[in-house]
Amino acid sequence: MSTRDDSRPGTEEDPVLVGVDLGGTKIAACLVTVSGQLRGEVHQVPTPGREGPAAMLAAIAGLVGQVVAAGTHGGRSPRPLAVGIGSAGIIDARSGVVLSATDAIAGWPGTNVADGVARLLPGAGVLAPDGQAPLVHVDNDVNAYAAGEAWLGAGHGASSALVVAVGTGVGGALVLGGAVHHGTHFLAGEIGHMPSQAAAGEPCTCGKSGHLEAVAAGPQIARRYREATGETSVTTALEVERRAQGGDVVAQRVYEEAAVALGRGIAQIVTAVDPQRVIISGGLARSGDLWWQPLRRTVADELIELIADSTELLPATLGTTAPIIGAAHEAWLRLPQAAGERNEA
């Protein structure tokens, strides 16, 4: 399903939202209609991660202002109903406060992103149709990605989905009944730090050992290959994959072990939650059969027949637009208009 629409940007008569994808290196944003179409171009700015929370909030609000200004049509700027932000870190989605984060963004833990951005939006020229600052909703970036994929991507039409992101880390999210399921600590679906037998004794980025991410994430695939061969020049999973395709038996083993470990982790979540679809995103999802075949085989072998035969395992389809669309959609779901539509449905 296309999410692109280069026609007239939203105005007061044409409701729009703003979706923001906040990562460690860049912040991207775009106008998004309430039906999920992107309006205009995606704008982005570098993430001022070393400059502290105040600079971060100003950068987000300023970028939203750029997006709104670019959407001006016939002398009228769009007035977004809400702004949705998918941010790195563990986010309290009720309050918009960062509960925990890596040091990629200095001082990010404890920051109230929702309130901080909302206060700055009027000064950036961003107002809602009622003349006030629009609602700002903040969630974890993987949750935002999952919300987009489940709504209009590979999960479209499914009642529930487990979305797994495999790249520099291993993340995950659950979408149940059309909405992200956060869990008590806002960590539902975070598959990367679940125990994995394949990772016994392996160091994890969280400081503990034995977690799935320690064997399944891209940098860990490269690390395990280096440790097994002593070849310090190999720094990416892509290089390991290339060597495996060229017949390197150590690379083949390390790559397959990563896929098998991930498959077993996915099977555990599927057994407990029973989602209709499993959607795989991230850099490793662009791998070939060397990774996908053992992943699919392991998931199928680990599940009971009833679940294995009917649970779809699919690659994500929306790409980099997924968190923008998903963040906007999550914000939309928190507006009274959306609540009314959901109740009527």
φ/ψ of 78, rounded to 5, equals -65, 145
Confidence of residue 338 (pLDDT cuts 50, 70, 90): low
Q: What percent of the chain has pLDDT over 70?
A: 94
User: Does the structure show a pLDDT above 60 at 2?
Assistant: no
pTM for this structure? 0.90
Tell whether the model's pLDDT for residue 7 goes beyond 70: no
Q: Are 143 and 182 in contact (CB under 8 A)?
A: yes
Contact criterion met (CB below 8 Å) for 323 and 21: yes
How confident is the model over 289-303, as pLDDT tens digits?
999 999 999 999 999
Place of tokens 């037998």: 197
DSSP β-ladder status, 170-176 and 179-181: antiparallel
Digit-coded pLDDT (tens) for 174-214 = 999 989 999 999 999 999 999 999 999 998 888 899 999 99
DSSP string, 178-246: TEEE-TTTT-TT-GGGSB-GGGTT-B-TTS-BSBTHHHHSHHHHHHHHHHHH--TT--SHHHHHHHHHT
pLDDT value for 215: 96
Residue 294 and residue 266 in contact, taking contact as beta carbons nearer than 8 Å: no
Inter-axis angle of helices 237-245 and 218-229, nearest 10: 60
Q: How high is the mean pLDDT of the chain?
A: 92
* Tokens 């390991």 -> residue: 240
Residue 12 pLDDT? 43
**Rounded Cα distance, 35 and 37, in Å:** 6
Q: Please name each of the domains of the chain with its CATH number.
A: 16-143+322-334 (3.30.420.40), 157-316 (3.30.420.40)
pLDDT in tens, 94-150: 999 999 998 889 999 999 999 999 999 999 999 999 999 999 999 999 999 999 999
Question: In this model, does residue 283 exceed pLDDT 60?
Answer: yes
Q: Outline where DSSP puts E strands in the chain.
A: 4-5, 16-22, 26-33, 38-46, 82-87, 90-92, 97-100, 135-140, 160-166, 170-176, 179-181, 277-281, 312-315
pLDDT reading at 4 higher than 90: no
CA 240/CA 221 separation, integer angstroms: 8
CA distance 241 to 290: 8
- Asked whether 234 and 254 are in contact (CB, 8 A), the reply is no
Residue 73 — pLDDT band, cuts 50, 70, 90? confident
Query: Reading across the β-sheet that carries 26-33, which strands appear in turn?
Result: 4-5, 38-46, 26-33, 16-22, 82-87, 135-140
